[in-house]
Amino acid sequence: MMTTRRQSFVPVAAESHFPIQNLPYGVCRRGDRDGPRVCVAIGDMVLDLAELDEVGAFERCSEVPSGALRATTLNPLMALGRAAWRQVRETVSTLLDREEPSLRDHDDLRRRVLVPRSDVTLLLPVDIGDYTDFYSSREHATNVGTMFRGKDNALMPNWLHLPVAYHGRASSVVLSGTRVRRPRGQVLPDGEDHPVFVATRALDFELEVGFFVGPGSRLGEPVPVERAPEHIFGLVLVNDWSARDVQKWEYQPLGPFLAKNFATSISPWVVPLDALEPFQTAGPEQDPEPLPYLRDPGVTEGRSTFDLRLEVAIRPEGAAEATTVCRSNFKHLYWSMAQQLAHHTVTGCDVRPGDMMASGTISGPDEGSYGSLLELTWRGSKPLKLAGGQTRAFLQDGDEVVMTGYCQGDGYRVGFGDVSGQVLPAA
């Protein structure tokens, strides 16, 4: 039997990223209210959950303590767990349903809790305690390995056995729209024996998707791979800016450091797992079979990832239009989020609400789906042509990078909005 797709009384265009099927969480500041407010996006509007909580809209949510939605970040909500998240989501979804009169027909309340997105300032939604960046795209790892070690040694021996990662810098995770200053660092020029200290000449973007930890874990107690989704609150788009020439000189033997710690941009809206579940799909086949602690039931059942379409565009300063340089998909990642979290905690390392884990660069099987300029231009040897006649090997000052992503449903989209940033000259 066919069912009617739920619709909101708030007008939502078919191409909008924020229909009632999404309801992503964020934190905003309103000009007529004090302090940051927990909110959700619906069409071109923002629903103020803090205001709704003050009028008792969540009193029947038994898993949601009084005042939990009046925090200044999403961390307290994240810590509550999936039962609470679903109660909040169902309450909000019901209030916004076009057949439900309790908010639709109450003008004063509607004006109090629903405000145009253009009238609010979006803030970093999470107090990020720790940030881990994975390296989970086989295509990306193969491309980079081929460039630096040759085709026969592209993948390191451990890569197909565990999700490789490094510990990033949480303090420099910034909100979409924050301008990023070109970093300086040590670089070893080709043919030279001694490094020089210069502004990077190989500034790059990295197309990634990150997830936020909800309920944490205790020190000494690993998170089993089959229970990992219980600890994942939601996803954001991530641009992990990279200085490739700095990275080339510094990364051996311990991996990235200054090449990536200067800025990591994230989108402002956190899309919950429940909104993405209709778009579950299979990831790549894993061969050899992972060790038992990494055997994700989702991989076996063909639902370990999401059909999430991703794009990257570059707009030079003053240009009339941006040029799309990459079209990829989250489903290309070899290691799943559940496997990433299980591996991260298998030693007994504890995680906390608000910890962020990013996927690493997401590259697909063809050149147009490579998620970094390092790959798209093959170390700068094949510059990209942009609209207006300009070319790029790596990013120039004034360039704006815009990443976007969405899952396509039947007549609707569940999207992330975008994550953007403009390059400023070195200090």
CB 184 within 8 A of CB 332: no
Cβ within 8 Å of residue 1, ≥6 positions away: none
Closest CA to 343 of 256, 222, 169: 222
Cβ within 8 Å of residue 292, ≥6 positions away: none
> To which residue do tokens 């379409």 refer?
309
- Maximum distance among all alpha carbons in the chain? 73
Our separate counts of H helices and E strands in the chain read 11, 26
Q: Give the whole-angstrom CA distance, residue 148 versus residue 140.
A: 13
Residue from 140, 332, 343, 344 carrying the catalytic annotation: 140
CB 330 within 8 A of CB 104: no
The burial of 220, by beta-carbon neighbours within 10 Å (0-12 exposed, 13-18 middle, 19 or more buried), is given as: exposed
Q: Give the whole-angstrom CA distance, residue 8 versus residue 420.
A: 28
CB 103 within 8 A of CB 87: no
Tokens of residue 154, six digits: 């592209």
Which is it for strands 131-134 and 356-358: parallel, antiparallel or unpaired?
Answer: parallel
Q: What sign does the CA torsion over 17, 23, 24, 27 have?
A: positive
Q: Give the whole-angstrom CA distance, residue 160 versus residue 334.
A: 9
The burial of 61, by beta-carbon neighbours within 10 Å (0-12 exposed, 13-18 middle, 19 or more buried), is given as: buried
- 357 DSSP β-pair partners: 132, 211
Is 332 annotated as catalytic? no
The burial of 109, by beta-carbon neighbours within 10 Å (0-12 exposed, 13-18 middle, 19 or more buried), is given as: middle
Q: Tell me the DSSP string of 333-401.
A: -SS-HHHHHHHHHTTS----TT-EEE------SSGGG-SBHHHHTTTTTSPEE-TTS-EESS--TT-EE
Q: Mind telling me the catalytic residues? A: 140
